[in-house]
Structure 1
Amino acid sequence: MQAEQRRQHDLVVTGASGRVGRLLAAGWARSGVPVLLQRRGDAALTQGLDELRWSPLEGAAPLIDRVQRHGAPRAMLVLAGATPGTGRDLSLNRPLTEACLAAALAAGIGRVLVTSSSAVYGGGRAQPWGESDPAQPTTPYGEAKAAAEAACTLWRARGLEVCCLRIGNVAGADALLLRAGGPLAIDRFADGGGPVRSYIGPGSLARVLRALACAPGPLPETLNIAAPVPVAMTDLASAAGLDWRWQPAPPSAVARFTLDCRALAALVPFDDAESTAATIAAQWKDCRTPT
């Protein structure tokens, strides 16, 4: 217990039981990163990481008590939220985000990383989306994440440093690799190629999030999160060993949806290999945990 009391955490992570959270926790546990995971129930999440039983929507008392006894983490990472396909009400994203921001402020945690989504930009286009492009979501999920981002403005005025992370595709939490158990059809466009997306492997994402938590200077209000070079989904499917085939792209299919990640790369350097399909697929396999 004495050793635990002296340990300073880089991050307290809300929503750690979700798909992305489990992938990240596997990477942090393996590399020994000091992270505190929030959980709601009695069951432990990840061996090797500290955990806090706490529900942000029920108030900040458990977090405040923990901070008073053990010290404040460098930052809070807000993974808590509702995602498509889970059956949860997407409108929960804003109140969950606000509850976490309120708890961070009350507990004296000055920096908060709020996970948003590239879905706030809307549809695909030939050129990458940059942080200065206006949010113009076209899906309910994108709208919900844009609303959560908008809620952060008030909390910045109250003294919190809040950086909204517009994350691209996370390998292992995306539609492509989640269908690894059966045949996969990939859209083929008129130019003969398939979809191109901005991806990041879970190992790279875990490293990036820790680096942002510990960054010495103030972070921007929004930041695109992906590996610097987009990847063809066919290359990723092949690198992951998936059984896939072509199908004609329907009119609604999006050929290219990518992010301009130069601002992130200026803060957190990337190795060239982290943008390759082989490394992204390998990180997914390394971080897979039972669901």
Structure 2
Amino acid sequence: MAHHPPSIDIQNLTYTFPDNSIGLEDININLPAGSRTLLIGANGAGKTTLLRLASGKKLTTRGRIRIGGVDPFAHGLEGVTYLGLEWVLNPIVRNDIYVHELLASVGGDAYPERRDQLVRILDIDVDWRMHIASDGERRRVQLAMGLLRPWSILLIDEVTVDLDVLARFRFLEFLKEETETRGCTIVYATHIMDGIAGWPTNLVRMAGGKVKAVGTVASFLGEVERKGASAGCRDGGIMRNSALLDLALGWLVEDLEERGPRDRTKSGQVTYNNVEKEPF
């Protein structure tokens, strides 16, 4: 991947779960190198499945994925980092071990400047003992471990939920700087829209295993204005929190109204749960 810009190109991707239900249907996304993309969608929209496929954690059944020009299933993805549920639940971070020992075990001594930068940004005490650390402290250490080795593409499946406001802000600023100085590419699935103004360059809207919209943040400003949301700008045209939040809320409300309740109990209505079970 060193010979290719760290772009993400997904074409006609469909994924079927072992029970033959559809997890993703005909996904088409092209994200340029250096972009910072938010995946927006309700629980069960397909965001995690998409990230796992893009990272090579799951084998695709139909379609084409190229990560930095590389097929993730035919070749190893050097330079791609995926931070998701499996990473969060790794039991090693609950052992009686010092933070500096954990960081050394994942290459801290090989990248001392980067290690020290992450320790400073995430406000970590390297003498913390992990088995008595709080959830928020443990998550900071996990982020430092996951980001320590330089990467070209970062796929994040909401792993910042335990961070306080300042830690999350500094973490996102670090990621933004990485894209601007090293040309890295990031895809971030999150439900937390507060404090993220000015961060994304691109948005992907997902619902029911499908991509309903994809584009630059600027391209969606008109939609916010049409719906009467506050579409003020800051820092050369990046939307404020209120505009981004209003946009996300509007999408989620529309998706909820379209699919109906999940419990299948409404008089004959097709709901999201049984839509996934039906043949396409």
For normalisation by structure 1, the TM-score amounts to 0.28
For normalisation by structure 2, the TM-score amounts to 0.29
